[in-house]
C-alpha cells in the first residue's frame, strides 16, 4: 500500500471532525473520496498532507509512519496536495508558482523537462507564464495548482475538490487532465462533491459521512448503488 | 517659519534628509520583513539596531582606533566593525526569534501575546546595556551617552549645482541603497527568496510545497537583523554616538517609515524611509529642530488616514489568501 490511514481522529478544538477514519490507496490507483458538505473530506486531506495534526491514529506513506512529520517533510517524501480553493500564490507569476512546486528539487535538467510536461498538459499556462497568478480565472488557477503539484513529481497526488466553482465544461476538462496524469503513472486520491465525475473516473471510491467511511467499492459499482444514487447523484 | 532658509539651501537639506532617511529605511526593512512573514511587529528590532552600534564601539576599542589613527587602522577597524555589527545584530534578531517567539508559535499563542513579548524583549535588551552590563563591566555601559571615535572625518567630496556632498553622506546613502538592492534581488530572484514570499502569501500552501517555515522565519530575522547592523555602522559614521536606549526613537521612526511606504513591502521601506528623512529635515529648517519628531508623526497620521496601506501598499504578502 502506498498510503494507509488507520483510525485517524482529527479535532478542531472540541469538535471532532474525523472519528476513526481508515482508508488505503495502492500504487497506481485513482481513488475517490466522496461525501456531502461537512462530511470531513477536506479534514481528511489536511490530515494526510500534515497541515493539521492528528489526535490519534496513524498514517503510513510508502512504508514509513509519517504521523508525526510536518507538512513540508511529508511533501519531500512524495506526497503533494492541491488544496481546496487552489491556493496559488497570488502575488507570484505563473512561472514562479510552478517553480514553487519544484522548490525541494535539485535536479535542474529533470525540472526543465517537467516544465515542458506541465506546459504540454496545460497550454494555457504556457501562454500566461509571466502573468500574476492572482489575475488568472478560476479554471486557470486550478490548472496552475495541479501543474505546480506535478512539478514536485509526487508519488501520490492529493486533489481537494478540483471541480469547485468551475463551469461544467471546465470540470470535464480538468477531469480529463486528471485521468491523463493518472495514465502517465501518478497515484491519485481525489476528494469530490461532484460524485458523478469522481465515481466514473475512479478505480475505487470511499463514501464519507460525518467523519467516517460508510461505504467503499469500485467506482462503477458505487455509481449503480441505489442509496448512493439517491444521496449523491440526485437520482431517486 | 523660515521659508527663505529652506528654499535657499533646498539641495543640501534634501541630501541631509536622504542621509537620515537611508538609515531609517535600512532599519525599516527589518520590521517589514518580519511583518510580511509573521504579521508581527517586532518591537525588539530597535534594540537589534542598538546592539549594532555598541558592537561598532567595541570593535573600535579593541583596535584602539581613534580620530588620530592611521589610514591602515581606520580601514581595518571600520571593515571589522561593519562585519561584526552585521553579525551581532543578525545574531540578536535570531536569538529573540529562537528564545522568545518560536516557543510562542509552537503553543499557538494569540497575536497580542507576541506583541507584549516583543516589547518585553526590547526592555530586556535595553536594560542589559543600561544596567546589567554596567554592574558586571562598569562604564561605558550604563545610561550615559557614549561617544564613538570619529574615524572618518567629514569632508566635502564634490559640489553639484551649489549642493556640496560629503564623504559620509555618500557612504551612508550609497551603502544603504546597495544593501536594499541586494536584499530586493535576493527576495525576488532567488529560490530561498521565493520561499520567503510563499510563506508571506500563504503559509499553509508554502508548507505543502515543501518550504520549511521555521527556516524561512529564521532567515527573515537574520536578514532584517543584518540590515539593522549595517544601519548601525552607517549611523555611527554619521553621528558618532551610542546609548542604551538609542534604538527607541530610530526604531519608532523606522517603523513609521515602514508603515508610510506600506508595511510588508520592501521597496516601500525605502520610499518611506527617504521621504520621512527629508520631511524631518525640511520641518526642522522651517520651524525648529524641536518640531522634527512632531512632523514625522503628523505625516504618519495623515498617511494612515488617507492611505492606510501606505504609499506603495503591501506586496510581500500581497492578497494573502
B108-131 residue pLDDT tens: 899 999 999 999 999 999 999 999
Summarize the confidence of residues A92-98 as an average pLDDT: 95
Summarize the confidence of residues B132-150 as an average pLDDT: 91
Model confidence at A114, pLDDT cuts 50, 70, 90, reads very high
Quote the pLDDT of residue A168: 87
Per-residue pLDDT of B275-293, as tens digits, reads: 999 999 999 888 888 888 8
Supply the Cα-derived Rg of chain B in whole angstroms. Answer: 20
More confident residue, B87 or B151: B87
Q: Percent of chain B beyond pLDDT 90?
A: 72
Q: Is A162 on the interface with B (CB under 8 A)?
A: no
Q: Is A177 on the interface with B (CB under 8 A)?
A: no
Q: Is A194 on the interface with B (CB under 8 A)?
A: no
Among residues A138, A153, A168, the one where a domain terminates is: A153
Most confident of B8-17, B246-255, B291-300: B246-255
Is A91–B315 a contact, with Cβ atoms under 8 angstroms apart?
Answer: yes
Q: Tell me, rounded to whole angstroms, the distance of Cα A65 from its chain centroid.
A: 20
Distance CA B17, CA B40 (A): 29
Using an 8 Å CB-CB cutoff, list chain A residues near B213: 72
Regarding whether A103 and A114 lie in a shared domain, the answer is yes
Residue A155 C-alpha, separation from nearest chain B C-alpha, in angstroms: 14
Question: What is the span of the domain harbouring residue A175?
Answer: 1-78+155-236
In chain B, which ranges are E strands?
146-147, 156-160, 163-166, 241-242
Least confident of A117-121, A162-166, A228-232: A228-232
List C-alpha distances in Å: B154 to A132, B160, B167, B171: 47, 17, 6, 11
ipTM of the assembly?
Answer: 0.90
Regarding whether A178 and A225 lie in a shared domain, the answer is yes
Pairing of strands A64-65, A79-82: unpaired
The mean of the pLDDT values for chain A is: 91
Q: Specify if A85 maps to a domain.
A: no
CB B33 within 8 A of CB B266: yes
Q: For residue B312, what is its C-alpha cell? A: 506603495
Model confidence at A10, pLDDT cuts 50, 70, 90, reads very high
Among residues A153, A179, A206, the one where a domain terminates is: A153
Question: Which CATH number fits the domain that encloses residue A48?
Answer: 3.40.50.300
Which residue of chain A comes nearest to B212, CA vs CA?
Answer: A72
Count up the domains in chain A and report the number.
2
Model confidence at A84, pLDDT cuts 50, 70, 90, reads confident
Query: Which residues 9-68 of A have a C-beta within 8 angstroms of B?
Result: 49-51
Scan for cell 584602539, then name that residue. Answer: B64
List C-alpha distances in Å: B142 to A52, A121, B63, B233, B245: 48, 67, 22, 21, 10
Q: Which of B54, B210, B40 is CA-nearest to residue B134?
A: B54
Model confidence at B316, pLDDT cuts 50, 70, 90, reads low
Domains of chain B with bracketed CATH:
3-141+158-306 (1.10.3470)
Which of B205, B212, B314 should we substitute to test contact with A (largest number of A Cβ atoms within 10 Å)? Answer: B205
Smallest Cβ–Cβ distance between A134 and the set B210, B211, B319 belongs to B319
Which residue of chain A comes nearest to B215, CA vs CA?
Answer: A72
List C-alpha distances in Å: A183 to A2, A25, A113, A152, A202: 17, 16, 18, 17, 12
Per-residue pLDDT of B185-240, as tens digits, reads: 999 999 999 999 999 999 999 999 999 999 999 999 999 999 999 999 999 999 99
Q: Specify if A41 maps to a domain.
A: yes
Q: Tell me, rounded to whole angstroms, the distance of Cα B184 from its chain centroid.
A: 16
Q: Specify if A213 maps to a domain.
A: yes
Regarding whether A164 and A143 lie in a shared domain, the answer is no
Name every residue whose Cβ is closer than 8 Å to that of residue A2 and which is 6 or more positions away in sequence. A25, A26, A27, A29, A61, A62, A155, A156, A187
Quote the pLDDT of residue A160: 93
Which residue of chain A comes nearest to B192, CA vs CA?
Answer: A103
Residue B110 C-alpha, separation from nearest chain A C-alpha, in angstroms: 15
Per-residue pLDDT of B56-67, as tens digits, reads: 999 999 998 888
Regarding whether A18 and A113 lie in a shared domain, the answer is no
Summarize the confidence of residues A29-45 as an average pLDDT: 90
Among residues A103, A121, A153, the one where a domain terminates is: A153
Regarding whether A160 and A148 lie in a shared domain, the answer is no
Supply the Cα-derived Rg of chain A in whole angstroms. Answer: 17
Quote the pLDDT of residue B318: 54
Distance CA A61, CA B198 (A): 26
Name every residue whose Cβ is closer than 8 Å to that of residue B42 and which is 6 or more positions away in sequence. B30, B31, B34, B35, B93, B96, B118, B221, B224
- Is residue B26 classed as helix, strand or coil in its secondary structure? helix
CB A199 within 8 A of CB A32: yes
More confident residue, B301 or B181: B181
Regarding whether A171 and A133 lie in a shared domain, the answer is no
Quote the pLDDT of residue A235: 64
Q: Dump the DSSP string for B169-207.
A: HHHHHHHHHHHHHHHHHHHHHSHHHHHHHHHHH-HHHHH
Is B208–A91 a contact, with Cβ atoms under 8 angstroms apart?
Answer: no
Res. A205: pLDDT tops 60: yes
Quote the pLDDT of residue B319: 42
Distance CA B11, CA A3 (A): 69
More confident residue, B252 or B8: B252
List C-alpha distances in Å: A200 to A77, A168, A182, A197, B210: 29, 16, 14, 5, 32
Q: Is A92 on the interface with B (CB under 8 A)?
A: yes
Q: Which of B133, B104, B57, B125 is CA-nearest to residue B217?
A: B104
Is A75–B318 a contact, with Cβ atoms under 8 angstroms apart?
Answer: no
Regarding whether A95 and A70 lie in a shared domain, the answer is no
Res. B136: pLDDT tops 60: yes
Res. B321: pLDDT tops 80: no
Quote the pLDDT of residue B320: 40
Distance CA A83, CA A60 (A): 20
Regarding whether A234 and A159 lie in a shared domain, the answer is yes
The mean of the pLDDT values for chain B is: 91
Per-residue pLDDT of B32-76, as tens digits, reads: 999 999 999 999 999 999 999 999 999 999 998 888 888 889 999
Is A90–B201 a contact, with Cβ atoms under 8 angstroms apart?
Answer: yes
Amino acid at each position: 500500500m502506498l498510503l494507509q490511514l488507520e483510525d485517524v481522529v482529527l479535532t478542531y478544538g472540541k469538535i471532532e471532525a474525523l472519528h476513526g477514519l481508515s482508508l488505503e490507496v495502492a500504487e497506481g490507483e485513482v481513488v475517490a473520496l466522496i461525501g456531502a458538505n461537512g462530511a470531513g473530506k477536506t479534514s481528511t486531506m489536511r490530515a494526510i498532507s500534515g497541515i493539521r495534526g492528528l489526535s490519534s491514529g496513524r498514517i503510513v506513506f510508502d512504508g514509513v509512519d509519517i504521523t508525526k512529520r510536518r507538512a513540508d517533510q511529508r511533501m519531500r517524501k512524495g506526497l503533494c496536495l492541491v488544496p481546496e480553493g487552489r491556493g496559488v500564490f497570488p502575488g507570484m507569476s505563473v512561472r514562479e508558482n510552478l517553480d514553487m512546486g519544484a522548490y525541494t528539487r535539485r535536479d535542474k535538467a529533470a525540472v526543465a523537462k517537467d516544465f515542458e510536461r506541465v506546459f504540454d498538459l496545460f497550454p494555457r499556462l504556457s501562454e500566461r507564464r509571466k502573468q500574476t497568478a492572482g489575475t488568472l480565472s478560476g479554471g486557470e488557477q486550478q490548472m496552475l495548482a495541479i501543474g505546480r503539484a506535478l512539478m514536485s513529481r509526487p508519488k501520490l497526488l492529493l486533489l481537494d475538490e478540483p471541480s469547485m466553482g468551475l463551469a461544467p465544461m471546465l470540470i470535464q476538462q480538468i477531469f480529463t487532465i486528471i485521468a491523463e496524469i493518472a495514465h502517465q503513472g501518478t497515484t491519485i486520491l481525489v476528494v469530490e462533491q461532484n460524485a458523478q465525475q469522481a465515481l466514473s473516473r475512479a478505480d475505487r471510491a470511499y463514501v464519507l459521512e460525518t467523519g467516517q467511511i460508510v461505504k467503499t467499492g469500485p467506482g462503477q459499482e458505487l455509481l449503480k448503488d441505489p442509496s448512493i444514487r439517491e444521496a449523491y447523484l440526485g437520482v431517486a | 517659519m523660515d521659508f527663505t532658509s529652506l528654499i535657499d539651501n533646498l539641495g543640501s537639506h534634501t541630501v541631509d534628509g536622504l542621509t537620515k532617511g537611508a538609515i531609517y529605511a535600512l532599519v525599516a526593512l527589518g520590521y517589514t520583513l518580519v511583518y510580511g512573514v509573521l504579521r508581527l511587529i517586532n518591537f525588539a528590532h530597535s534594540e537589534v539596531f542598538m546592539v549594532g552600534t555598541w558592537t561598532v564601539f567595541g570593535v573600535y576599542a579593541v583596535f584602539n582606533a581613534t580620530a588620530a589613527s592611521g589610514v591602515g587602522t581606520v580601514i581595518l577597524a571600520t571593515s571589522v566593525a561593519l562585519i561584526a555589527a552585521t553579525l551581532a545584530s543578525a545574531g540578536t534578531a535570531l536569538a529573540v526569534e529562537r528564545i522568545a517567539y518560536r516557543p510562542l508559535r509552537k503553543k499557538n499563542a494569540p497575536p497580542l501575546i507576541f506583541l507584549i513579548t516583543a516589547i518585553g524583549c526590547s526592555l530586556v535588551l535595553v536594560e542589559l546595556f543600561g544596567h546589567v552590563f554596567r554592574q558586571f563591566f562598569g562604564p561605558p555601559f550604563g545610561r550615559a551617552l557614549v561617544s564613538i571615535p570619529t574615524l572618518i572625518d567629514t569632508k566635502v567630496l564634490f559640489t553639484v549645482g551649489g549642493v556640496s556632498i560629503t564623504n559620509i553622506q555618500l557612504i551612508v546613502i550609497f551603502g544603504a541603497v546597495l544593501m536594499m538592492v541586494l536584499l530586493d534581488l535576493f527576495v525576488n530572484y532567488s529560490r530561498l527568496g521565493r520561499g520567503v514570499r510563499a510563506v508571506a502569501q500563504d503559509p499553509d500552501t508554502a508548507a505543502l510545497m515543501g518550504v520549511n517555515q521555521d527556516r524561512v522565519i529564521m532567515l527573515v530575522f537574520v536578514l532584517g537583523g543584518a540590515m539593522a547592523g549595517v544601519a548601525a555602522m552607517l549611523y555611527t559614521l554619521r553621528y558618532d554616538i551610542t546609548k542604551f536606549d538609542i534604538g527607541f526613537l530610530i526604531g519608532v521612526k523606522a517603523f513609521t517609515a515602514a508603515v508610510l511606504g506600506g508595511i510588508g513591502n520592501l521597496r516601500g521601506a525605502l520610499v518611506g524611509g527617504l521621504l520621512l528623512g527629508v520631511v524631518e529635515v525640511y520641518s526642522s529648517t522651517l520651524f525648529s529642530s524641536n518640531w522634527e519628531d512632531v512632523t514625522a508623526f503628523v505625516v504618519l497620521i495623515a498617511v494612515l488616514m488617507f492611505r492606510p496601506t501606505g504609499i506603495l501598499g503591501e506586496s510581500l504578502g500581497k492578497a494573502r489568501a
